[in-house]
Amino acid sequence: MTAVLQPSLLDAVDLAGTVERTALSVDAWVDLCPGWLDGADALFDRLVTHVPWHGERRQMYDREVDVPRLLSFYGEDDPLPDPALDHARAALSDRYRGELGEPFRTAGLCYYRNGSDSVAWHGDRIGRGRQADTMVAIVSLGAPRALLLRPRGGGPSLRFSIGDGDLLVMGGSCQRTWDHAIPKTARPVGPRISVQFRPRGVR
Ligand SMILES: O=C(O)CCC(=O)C(=O)O
């Protein structure tokens, strides 16, 4: 029997990409698929221009500071800002449905303008990720940046360099038992966009 291929999906997503899984402690894991998304540079340019990026402020001790990156969040009923992201989410939902048991629904977009933009150590533990195993799939566009992972509470970290259409998926207990971060860097680096797909109720 001949498989029926969906041209629109194959245009945007390299389904042949090889996923390499790294098993972490306490039933956490991370999948890496370099160069997963075709057309990453063009998508980066479209997102920079068309996404309604905004800055946020947060309390740090007794003063309010800028969050060092720009953000835009798409809830499950919000149209995504580019059809390539619909295709990517559908392909990821297909690929991981067996393990995840549900589709990816929301998309959080972060824009790291230069090496001073960053996100501190954290797990995605708002909502269901606090108690239950889940997955967060990150599609990375633009200049590669280091994503670090370390056991919650400290320990040696693992380093993944992600950009240029790479896919990184954190699964199992990872959000509860490990933390991740994008550290600042003094190296001259170009801008990067991270697209994080999450299931319902995970943030
Ligand atoms: O930039 C990334 O890929 C990670 C983003 C992240 O961890 C978050 O926004 O919670």
Output the residue whose Cα is nearest ligand 1's atom 10. 124
Mutate to test the pocket of ligand 1, among 182, 189, 198 (most ligand atoms within 8 A of CB): 182
Provide the CA 203 distance to its chain's centre, in angstroms.
12
- HEC string of 87-146 equals HHHHHHHHHHHHHHCCCCCEEEEEEECCCCCCEEEECCCCEHHHCCCCCEEEEEEECCEE
C-alpha span between 12 and 1 (Å, rounded): 25
Confidence of residue 67 (pLDDT cuts 50, 70, 90): very high
pTM of model > 0.85: yes
Measured from the Cα of 124, ligand 1's closest atom is 10
User: Which protein residues are within 6 Å of ligand 1, measured from CB?
Assistant: 108, 110, 119, 124, 138, 147, 180, 182, 194, 196
DSSP line for 143-179: S-EEEEEEETT----EEEEE-TTEEEEEEETHHHHEE
Predicted pLDDT of residue 165: 97
List pLDDT tens digits, range 129-148. 899 999 999 999 999 999 99
Please give the average per-residue pLDDT across 18-30, as a whole number: 95
Predicted pLDDT of residue 17: 61
Please give the average per-residue pLDDT across 36-60, as a whole number: 96
Q: Residue 77: helix, strand or coil by DSSP?
A: coil
List pLDDT tens digits, range 146-195. 999 999 988 999 999 999 999 999 999 999 999 999 999 999 999 999 99
Q: Residue 50: helix, strand or coil by DSSP?
A: helix
Measured from the Cα of 108, ligand 1's closest atom is 9
Mean pLDDT of the chain: 92
List pLDDT tens digits, range 84-124. 999 999 999 999 999 999 999 999 999 999 999 999 999 99
C-alpha span between 36 and 128 (Å, rounded): 27
Output the residue whose Cα is nearest ligand 1's atom 3. 194
**Measured in angstroms, how far is the CA atom of residue 2 from the centroid of ligand 1?**
39
Confidence of residue 79 (pLDDT cuts 50, 70, 90): very high
19-198 is classed in which CATH architecture? Answer: Sandwich (2.60)
Check whether 7 has a pLDDT greater than 60. Answer: no
